[in-house]
């Protein structure tokens, strides 16, 4: 079983870890992206990053000072969004760290696929960014089916806790053998179930934490998730979608 999550825009350098860092699987392709970004001027990067000039100046300086081999921190601690705060990896014991290393994968526009303790730099590059590289017009075409091939294993089971922007890297390449199960979180408002982005991000992190701490390896045990008021909603769920509501 593989669990997939999105990266976070907010990143930090955290050197308070003791685990040995791994090298990202697609570091050669990342190097191509890295070198391509450094070829772009500030105006081009402003369009790519979609941020203000002050931030572009800061990111531009960071980009040109960065080195893919130095001052690295583990991906699971470097991303600093709501999902990662609620995963709470600093609370994991050795067995739980083994579980996330075996089962959790982060999809990244810059790195392709990351294991939790792959050493990474801070960067800004969303998967949907229109970066032209090596004859490709965007990152979806650049990565093609390589992300899917790296993530799929002998179980052919993928638990999708990623946003649509990142799950799109896998869905076009699924085969009849594969089970791609998306997990959604909803709140009941005025007799309707709706998904709220902020709460969904928090719940995705809580779900990862639950899977890790309970050593979950099958769909039926995922359905037992009962955290922060969320419970499995069978009526809203399908064979490929597990909905948890409150």
pLDDT in tens, 142-193: 999 999 999 999 999 999 999 999 999 999 999 999 999 999 999 999 889 9
- Cβ count within 10 A of residue 179: 14
By the 8 A CB rule, do 5 and 208 touch? yes
Q: What is the model's pLDDT at position 20?
A: 85
pLDDT for residue 19 is more than 80: no
Tell which residue, 15, 48, 3, 4, has the closest CA to residue 121: 15
Average pLDDT over residues 182-211: 95
Q: What is the model's pLDDT at position 66?
A: 94
Q: What is the model's pLDDT at position 229?
A: 96
With 0.85 as the threshold, say if the pTM is over it. yes
Domain boundaries, the chain: 2-245
Q: What is the model's pLDDT at position 191?
A: 87
Q: What is the model's pLDDT at position 86?
A: 98
Q: What is the model's pLDDT at position 139?
A: 98
pLDDT for residue 13 is more than 90: no
Q: Give the E-state strand segments of the chain in sequence order.
A: 2-5, 73-74, 104-108, 112-114, 119-120, 157-160, 179-189, 192-194, 231-232, 241-245
pLDDT tier, 16 (very low <50, low <70, confident <90, very high otherwise):
confident
- Cβ count within 10 A of residue 66: 16
pLDDT tier, 40 (very low <50, low <70, confident <90, very high otherwise):
very high
pLDDT tier, 141 (very low <50, low <70, confident <90, very high otherwise):
very high
Q: What is the model's pLDDT at position 36?
A: 98
Which structure tokens are listed for 139? Answer: 């990152």
Q: Mark residue 106 as left, alpha or beta (left: phi above 0; alpha: psi -120 to 50; beta: remaining).
A: beta
Cα–Cα distance for residue pair 157/167, rounded to 1 Å: 14
Average pLDDT of the residues of the chain:
96
By the 8 A CB rule, do 152 and 211 touch? no
Burial bucket for residue 217 (CB in 10 Å: 0-12, 13-18, 19+) = middle
By the 8 A CB rule, do 200 and 185 touch? yes
Average pLDDT over residues 31-60: 94
pLDDT in tens, 71-107: 899 999 999 999 999 999 999 999 999 999 999 999 9
Average pLDDT over residues 22-32: 98
Q: What is the model's pLDDT at position 24?
A: 98
* Residue 35, φ and ψ in degrees, nearest 5: -65, -35
């Amino acid at each position: 079983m593989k669990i997939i999550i999105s990266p976070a825009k907010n990143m930090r350098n955290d050197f308070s870890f003791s685990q040995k860092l791994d090298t990202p699987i697609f570091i050669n392709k990342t190097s191509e992206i890295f070198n391509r970004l450094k070829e772009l001027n500030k105006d081009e990067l402003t369009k790519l990053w979609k941020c203000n000039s002050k931030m572009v100046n800061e990111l531009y300086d960071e980009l040109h000072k960065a080195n893919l081999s130095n001052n690295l921190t583990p991906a699971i601690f470097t991303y600093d969004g709501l999902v990662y705060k609620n995963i709470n990896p600093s609370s994991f014991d050795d067995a739980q760290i083994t579980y996330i290393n075996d089962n959790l994968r982060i999809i990244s526009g810059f790195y392709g696929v990351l294991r939790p303790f792959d050493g990474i730099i801070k960067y800004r590059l969303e998967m949907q960014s229109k970066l032209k590289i090596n004859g490709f017009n965007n990152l979806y075409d650049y990565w093609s089916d390589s992300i899917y091939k790296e993530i799929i294993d002998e179980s052919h089971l993928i638990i999708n806790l990623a946003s649509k922007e990142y799950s799109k890297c896998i869905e076009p390449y699924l085969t009849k053998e594969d089970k791609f199960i998306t997990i959604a979180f909803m709140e009941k408002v005025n007799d309707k179930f709706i998904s709220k982005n902020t709460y969904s991000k928090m719940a995705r992190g809580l779900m990862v934490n639950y899977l890790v701490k309970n050593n979950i390896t099958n769909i039926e045990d995922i359905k037992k998730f009962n955290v922060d008021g969320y419970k499995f909603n069978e009526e809203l769920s399908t064979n490929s979608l597990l909905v948890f509501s409150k």
